[in-house]
Chain A
Amino acid sequence: GESVGLHLPTLSVQEGDNSIINCAYSNSASDYFIWYKQESGKGPQFIIDIRSNMDKRQGQRVTVLLNKTVKHLSLQIAATQPGDSAVYFCAEDNSGGSNYKLTFGKGTLLTVNP
């Protein structure tokens, strides 16, 4: 079937540590992925995206890794800060961009301890 899921529903880290949030997808036709951050009381916010022709993409303090062999996506946050505390979820697009249809994962709650 087509599904996007997360391995860990919650993740607690110490401030300054690196965080890794994982996402598994089952549709091998998916060729575009997005990570979102949702803080309490707010809507989701785009963090970073990656196309299937890439294995890695870096942003500011964030890196997304894509392993198409095992259909796995991860978001790495370097030097995690209290402001990074939020729910993070991934989304996949297997429409080829022709017909908007993102499938979203459930989310992982990241808690950063001072």
Chain B
Amino acid sequence: ETGVTQTPRHLVMGMTNKKSLKCEQHLGHNAMYWYKQSAKKPLELMFVYNFKEQTENNSVPSRFSPECPNSSHLFLHLHTLQPEDSALYLCASSQDTNPRVDTQYFGPGTRLTVL
């Protein structure tokens, strides 16, 4: 285990539903990330939080709303999603946001299917 847990592991939702993804890291890291991994596409960074403050929003649609109440927890609130949003959503954490200094540790992901 990497020390990063994600729940739920699988989620099926309709386009009108509201759901949330949860990520928790037990590593004492200061930075947390949301990534989207679609089939046949490269891993895409969505959001970066450092010391609970959002430092990166990679042009993510507003139907994805992140929340970081503390350095150990990260949420991704989902609302009015589209079928093309179906993907594996990965959470990661690191001590520092500089990848040359600190390795990112990834959770197992939440497999999201939007019907």
Distance to closest chain B CB from A102 (angstroms): 6
**CB-nearest residue of chain A relative to B6?**
A43
Shortest CB distance A1–B (Å)? 13
Q: Using Cβ atoms and an 8 Å threshold, which residues of chain B touch A46?
A: 103-104
Distance of A59 from chain B, by nearest CB (Å): 13
A-B contact count (CB 8 A): 52
Chain B residues, CB < 8 A from A97: 98-101
Give A34 to B109 CA distance when docked, in angstroms.
20
Residues of A27-66 contacting chain B, CB below 8 A: 32, 34, 41-46, 49, 51
Contacts of B48 in A (CB 8 A): 100
CA distance A16 to B55 in the complex (A): 45
The verdict on A102 contacting B45 (CB below 8 Å), with A43-B92, A97-B98 known, is yes
Stretch at the interface among B13-21, B36-44, B61-69, B72-80: B36-44
Once the chains are docked, how many angstroms separate the CA of A104 from the CA of B43? 6
Residues B103 and A106 in contact, CB atoms below 8 Å apart? no
Q: Are the C-beta atoms of B99 and A93 separated by less than 8 Å?
A: yes
Cβ-closest chain A residue relative to B106: A43
Decide if A43 touches B109 in the complex (CB within 8 Å): yes
> Are A43 and B42 within 8 A (Cβ)?
no
> Contact: B98 with A106, CB < 8 Å?
no
Does B4 have its Cβ within 8 Å of any Cβ on chain A?
yes
Q: Which residue of B lies closest to A96 (CB)?
A: B100
Q: How far is the CB of B88 from chain A (nearest CB, A)?
A: 9
Does A4 interact with chain B (Cβ within 8 Å)?
yes
Distance between A19 CB and nearest chain B CB, rounded to angstroms: 21
- A83-106 interface code vs B (CB 8 A; 1 in, 0 out): 000000101010001001111111
B107 engages A43 (CB within 8 Å): yes
Q: Which B residues are within 8 Å of any A CB, using their own CB?
A: 2, 4, 40-45, 48, 56, 90, 92, 97-101, 103-104, 106-109
| 20 additional contacts (CB under 8 A) given A42-B108, A51-B100 | A32-B99, A32-B100, A34-B99, A41-B108, A42-B109, A43-B92, A44-B90, A44-B106, A91-B43, A91-B99, A93-B100, A97-B101, A100-B98, A100-B99, A102-B99, A103-B42, A104-B43, A104-B44, A105-B42, A106-B42
